[in-house]
């Protein structure tokens, strides 16, 4: 009888521990999915700037004069966005979605090695938010891009 009670207690404890491990694993999986969604948003913004798909300094100026110096939903499904987000799925299942905000950083003189009369520099702060249905929170990741461009009569004011 004592052996039966001992085995029952061991069985219940091992099932409880296994259930807790499953919950921890599920939370970690959701966190990673959200993080990958945010990182995909950063990669998308970086690709747009490196491929010169848009005028970076115009985007800087738009953000500079927006509320909090940020263009919210710069990459999003909203109307007027630069680009829609790329679906992040695995085997047909939606893993995460993202939106990317573009914020004005700094604008100044050209870095050493560039002619200050012909070039200027500016930075863009990028914040991407990974989201997914039924998540209790979103994941945000950030980065900044530093650009040097020819002044051509423009530049920092």
pLDDT value of residue 53? 76
- Per-residue model confidence (pLDDT) at position 85: 85
Residue 153's pLDDT is what? 66
pLDDT of residue 17: 87
Rounded-to-integer distance, Cα 71 and Cα 85, Å = 15
Q: Which two tokens mark 87? A: 């679906």
> What is the spatial distance between Cα 48 and Cα 102, in angstroms, rounded to a whole number?
12
Copy the structure tokens of residue 71: 């263009």
User: In the chain, helix, strand, coil percent, each to 5?
Assistant: 40, 35, 30
- Give the whole-angstrom CA distance, residue 142 versus residue 40: 11
What's the whole-model pTM score?
0.75
What whole-number distance in Å separates Cα of residue 144 and Cα of residue 122? 10
- Residue corresponding to tokens 């002044």: 151
130 in Cβ contact with 36 (< 8 Å): yes
pLDDT at 89: 79
- Quickly count: other Cβ atoms within 10 Å of residue 132's Cβ: 17
| Cα Dmax for the chain | 92
**Residue ranges of the chain whose pLDDT lies below 50:** none
Domain boundaries, the chain: 25-150
Other CB atoms within 10 A of residue 67 CB:
8
Whole-number pLDDT of residue 157 = 60
The pLDDT assigned to 24 comes to 84
Question: Cα(125)–Cα(143) distance, rounded to whole angstroms?
Answer: 6
């Amino acid at each position: 009888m004592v052996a039966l009670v001992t085995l029952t207690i061991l069985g219940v404890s091992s099932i409880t521990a296994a259930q807790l491990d499953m919950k921890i694993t599920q939370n970690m999986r959701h966190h990673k999915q959200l993080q990958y969604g945010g990182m995909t948003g950063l990669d998308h913004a970086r690709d747009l700037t490196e491929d010169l798909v848009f005028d970076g300094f115009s985007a800087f100026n738009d953000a500079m004069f927006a509320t909090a110096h940020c263009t919210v939903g710069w990459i999003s499904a909203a109307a007027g966005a630069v680009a829609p987000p790329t679906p992040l799925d695995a085997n047909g299942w939606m893993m995460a979605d993202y939106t990317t905000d573009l914020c004005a950083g700094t604008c100044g003189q050209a870095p050493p090695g560039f002619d200050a009369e012909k070039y200027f520099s500016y930075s863009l702060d990028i914040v991407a938010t990974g989201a997914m249905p039924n998540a209790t929170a979103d994941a945000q990741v950030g980065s900044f891009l530093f650009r040097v461009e020819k002044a051509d009569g423009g530049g920092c004011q």
